[in-house]
Amino acid sequence: MAQVMLKDLNRKFDEVHAVKDVNLLIRDKEFIVLVGPSGCGKSTTLRMVAGLEDITSGEIYLGDQLVNNLPPKDRDMAMVFQNYALYPHMTVYDNMAFGLKMRKFPKADIEKRVSEAATLLGIPDLLKRKPRQLSGGQRQRVAVGRAIVRHPQVFLFDEPLSNLDAKLRVQMRVELKRLHERLETTAIYVTHDQVEAMTLGDRVVIMKDGSVQQVGEPLEVYSRPRNKFVAGFMGSPAMNFMDTTITEAAGRLYAVTTGLRVKVPLERAARLASYKEQSITLGIRPEDLREARGSDAEDLSFDAVVDVVEPLGSEILLDTRVGSQTIVARVDPTVRARLHEKIRLTYVPERLRFFDNQTEEAIV
């Protein structure tokens, strides 16, 4: 069984506490993605799993086996690096076969494994080429192929798509997902790209400053972020945050700021009542806003002034101003928004998020 468990994992580099008390159970066959901004400790975590980085404290288990003191080559894990790390003087075949040769696999077995992996990755015609004769996407496939031929218990990916252009990245993302469905090998994948994390991960682990902020299925994390950091990091364009004050009028609670009075949904009222007359952060995702129609309730809509219009074909992003705050709305492409003019926007009350200004935790 190829479950991986990280227990109270820490890594300190002199002053920098790069990984802080990380606890994580990666299930057998699971594709888990570590995501977060640059410097959040995701690569260091992955490298500790691979055995390429010393562990300051804590434990790593592969199945039931404690692997802290096992050298990388004995861990039965295969890593794909961001720069592919191919040997330039070797052919694609030799690059893929190298690890098996070093482990003294029989020649026939090596040939079979390389051929199978090359077919799976659609590169059987490239086996005689050298890396410099390959495109970025092809090199990336070779790097993945080199990991596949080992039939490891766990794949480790360190930003493997970040050197590819945007279109190829999307294509390779789909291929990696398909590959994982076929091979059913446990995979730990590191990226700073939240779209990659959402689309690839069975679960995602969001990290900040060395600590895990939230672990969950992509849509769960997206729709129920535990704190303001996760809410702002997952989603593009990012969630709008506004400083508001909770006020009561005629028995209902509102989150109020200049130019905006948002009705607190009844099911959230009990929890938010303790914040009366206090300031909290209101979060609205751009896609939860749309242009108000005549039939929309007056008290669920507000006026905004259009600052920037970004037509994207399938949708339009509007940067708008409400009082002193900027609100981005992702609206239907048929909306005729004019620069510097007012537009009336409406929101989905159930999707509003509220965050405590002191702790930045979601108020749920």
Minimum distance between the CB of residue 34 and ligand ATP, rounded to whole angstroms?
Answer: 8
Please report whether residue 40 would count as binding ligand ATP according to CB under 6 A: yes
Using the minimum distance from each CB to ligand ATP, give the nearer residue, 117 or 206. 206
State the Cα–Cα distance between residues 75 and 122, nearest whole angstrom: 28
By CB under 6 A, name the one of 18, 50, 149, 215 that touches ligand ATP: 18
Helix (H/G/I), strand (E/B), else coil: 317: strand
Question: End-to-end alpha-carbon separation of the chain, Å?
Answer: 37
Among 2, 32, 35, 44, binds ligand ATP (CB under 6 A): 44
Task: Find the shortest distance in angstroms from Cβ 212 to ligand ATP.
Answer: 12
The minimum distance between CB 197 and ligand ATP, in angstroms, equals 12
Size of the site for ligand ATP (CB under 6 A): 12
Helices (H), the chain: 42-50, 92-102, 107-121, 136-148, 166-183, 194-200, 218-223, 228-233, 266-272
Q: Of residues 21, 39, 247, 344, which one binds ligand ATP by CB under 6 A?
A: 39
Nearer to ligand ATP, 36 or 137 (CB): 36
Q: Is residue 141 near ligand ATP by the rule CB under 6 A?
A: no
Collapsing DSSP to helix, strand or coil, 302 comes out as strand
* Contact call for residue 41 and ligand ATP (CB under 6 A): yes
Report helix, strand or coil for 149: coil
Among the listed ranges 33-41, 114-122, 242-250, 343-351, the one in contact with ligand ATP (CB under 6 A) is 33-41
Stretch that binds ligand ATP, among 34-42, 72-80, 112-120, 229-237 (CB under 6 A): 34-42
Q: Between 193 and 319, name the residue whose CB sits nearer to ligand ATP.
A: 193
Query: Rounded to the nearest whole angstrom, what is the least distance from the CB of residue 51 to ligand ATP in the complex?
Result: 15
Output the CA–CA distances (angstroms, integers) from residue 202 to 31, 35, 178, in the order listed: 5, 13, 13
Q: List all residues 6 or more positions away from 82 whose beta carbon is below 8 Å from its beta carbon.
A: 158, 159, 160, 162, 163
Q: Rounded distance, CA 162 to CA 166, Å?
A: 9
Among 38, 295, 314, 358, binds ligand ATP (CB under 6 A): 38
CB atoms within 10 A of CB 25: 13
How far apart CA 238 and CA 199 sit, in angstroms, is 17
Burial class, 20, CB count within 10 angstroms (exposed 0-12 / middle 13-18 / buried 19+)? middle
Residue nearest to ligand ATP (CB): 43
16 binds ligand ATP (CB under 6 A): yes
Candidate residues 9, 30, 31, 42; the one interacting with ligand ATP per rule CB under 6 A? 42
Q: Does 6 engage in binding with ligand ATP (CB under 6 A)?
A: no
Site for ligand ATP in 157-196 (CB under 6 A): 192
Return the residue matching tokens 């339009």: 316
The residue with tokens 């060395």 is 210
The stretch among 35-43, 149-157, 177-185, 261-269 that binds ligand ATP (CB under 6 A) is: 35-43
Residues ≥6 apart with Cβ < 8 Å to 310: 316, 317, 318, 319
**What's the closest the beta carbon of residue 195 comes to ligand ATP, in angstroms?**
15
Nearer to ligand ATP among residue 137 and residue 210 (C-beta): 210
Q: Which of 282, 320, 285 is nearest to 302 (CA)?
A: 320
Nearer to ligand ATP, 54 or 310 (CB): 54
Write down the least CB distance from residue 40 to ligand ATP, Å: 4
Kindly indicate which of the ranges 37-45, 145-153, 220-228, 264-272 contains the residues binding ligand ATP, using the contact rule CB under 6 A.
Answer: 37-45
Cis before 131? omega within 30: no
The answer to whether 13 contacts ligand ATP (rule: CB under 6 A) is: yes
What's the token pair of residue 351? 């999707």
Q: Which residues bind ligand ATP (CB under 6 A)?
A: 13, 16, 18, 36, 38-44, 192
